[in-house]
A = this chain, B = another copy of it.
Amino acid sequence: MKQNNTAAQVTMKDVANVAGVSTATVSRALMMPEKVAHQTREKVDNAIQQTGYIPYLPSRNHKNNQSKILLVMSLDITDPFLTDVIQGIQQTAAEYGYMVLLLGNQQQSIEQASLSPLLNQVDGIILLGANSPLDIHHHDSLPPMVMANEYLPELKLPTIHIDNLTAAFNAVNYLQQIGHRRIACISGPAHLHLSHYRLQGYIQAIQRSGIALEKRYMLSGSLTFETGSTALTQLMSLPQPPSAIFCHSDIMAIGVIHQAKKIGIKIPEELSIVGFDDIALAQYVDPPLTTMAQPRYNIGHQAVLMLLELLQGCPVKSNSVLLDSELIVRESTAKPHS
């Protein structure tokens, strides 16, 4: 008869009482069931059922320091690409019995002061993109961390990512292969390192083909529809508009397609577009998007595996795992007409 149900914590002591054993035994029955007599274990199990006991985590963590929580710091939980990565993280984490605490960048408003204690409570951290809110250098002791999707040489974090430079190079190279000469590039924000790498890939591809780099063909902005949309307007009002555009994200690419249609430019006949990421949506837009596919789910998956290894005390084997990217050719690209 539990009358003390005013949200009163059922403690291990209660269980012990009901089972007629000591708290230590209850604890053992929970933690190392094989080290406790079969009979006793049954009594304890019953008592747990009866009382509705639930282990109180803070106390438990107190000792063994395991919260089974992984922190993910993500730039933007709204970005469909990152969302897929996070999905990979969550699913993999769940397989290993970990929960995922997701911190969006909006929450960077949370002051360091209140953030720090939290870091103390999680078992590991996954940085999804580099503009993390935490001033890593000012923390002496942080939980194990891995970085995903963006490589940041200065912090020597184990990282899982694609070769953004080569990927971008290949994307642009493809456009060149099918005959394009005037190729523009819409980059992500400068503070993201991946923007830098992708831009470099673009630049190298252009230069290698012996064509002069056109400053006016190189725009940048956030990885959003709007950026793509406005960038297109800008590009097409150039005296010599490009015949193809390489975008740093699919979302951007969709923005440019949208705007292109609006001002009556036919894709891919008059303008070729290639995106980046291969989000699910890419194949459903009109025309279906040619894009550099990233292994979205796998990035998340690998990141967790890597982090879990760190948690086990494994040394940081390789400092950076490279995943493959692949150009998916759909219908937003074609030979230049003119």
Residues of A within 8 A of B (CB): 2, 5, 7-9, 52, 54-62, 67-69, 77-78, 80, 83-84, 86-87, 90-91, 93-95, 97, 99-104, 106-107, 109-110, 114, 116-121, 140-141, 225, 229, 254-255, 257-258, 261, 280-281, 284-286
Contact = CB atoms under 8 A, between A and B. Distances in A.
Contacts of A103: 90, 99-100
Contacts of A93: 107
Given A99-B101, A284-B255, A286-B286, A84 B78 contact: yes
Contacts of A110: 94, 97, 99
Contacts of A261: 286
A117 B54 contact: yes
Q: How many copies does the complex hold?
A: 2
A316 to B, nearest CB: 15
Contacts of A77: 77, 83, 86-87, 90, 102
A140 B5 contact: yes
A59 B57 CA distance: 10
Given A78-B83, A87-B78, A99-B101, A116 B285 contact: no
A203 to B, nearest CB: 29
A295 B94 CA distance: 31
A181 to B, nearest CB: 28
Given A54-B120, A58-B121, A280-B225, A101 B104 contact: no
A117 B254 CA distance: 44
Contact of A258 (B57, B102, B286): B286
A50 to B, nearest CB: 12
A165 B168 CA distance: 47
Given A57-B117, A140-B52, A106 B86 contact: no
A99 B83 contact: no
A225 B87 contact: no
Nearest to A101: B101
Contacts of A104: 86-87, 90-91, 100
A246 to B, nearest CB: 19
A106 B80 contact: no
Contacts of A8: 141
